[in-house]
Amino acid sequence: MKGSLRTDSAWLEAFFRRADEIYVSFSGAEFPYVIPLNFVWLDGRIYLHSAFEGRKIRLLERDARVGFAAALDVTIVREKSTTWYKSVSGCGRMRIVTDQEEKRRALDGLSLRYAARCPRPAPDEMLRRVNVLCIEVENVFGKERGPR
């Protein structure tokens, strides 16, 4: 049996508040490149922190289209040959955040979310040292299947 489709914003907001990481898929030269990343969901966008160079930045510069997915409460129910879960999948375009106030807001959101010992608001020096990426979400939906 399929899980029920969830597109309501309240369900998605609650899901993103609980998910610890998100898996992001980039278009690689021969194969997709998928990595788990810390994130924060703000105003319908996904923000991530990053180094200024490396594989994901090279792939982003070549193709901004990305896919993403996350899962929560995954339980294999062997006696029923099924799995209970909550999941989210989607796609969008990733960009490097250049606006300093948007970048500060994203870093503050990340540090609050993960209880990081970072000064808030993020100081200008931190803005210079950390790259922030944003996924402009074009399509997102959730699914859930669980005990009834």
Domain membership of residue 88 as a residue range: 4-145
Q: What does each C-alpha distance from 134 to 38, 82, 147 come to in angstroms?
A: 12, 35, 35
For 96-106, write each residue's pLDDT tens digit. 999 999 999 99
Instruction: Report the C-alpha gap between 131 and 36 in whole angstroms.
Output: 17
| CATH code of 15's domain | 2.30.110.10
- Three-state secondary structure call for residue 81: coil
- Where is average pLDDT lowest: 3-17, 23-37, 57-71? 3-17
Query: Is the C-alpha dihedral spanning 105, 60, 10, 22 positive or negative?
Result: negative
User: What pLDDT, in 10s, does the model give residues 48-73?
Assistant: 999 999 999 999 999 999 999 999 99
Rounded to the nearest integer, the mean pLDDT of the chain is 92
- Length reported for the chain: 148
Cβ within 8 Å of residue 100, ≥6 positions away: 124, 127
| Tally of domains in the chain | 1
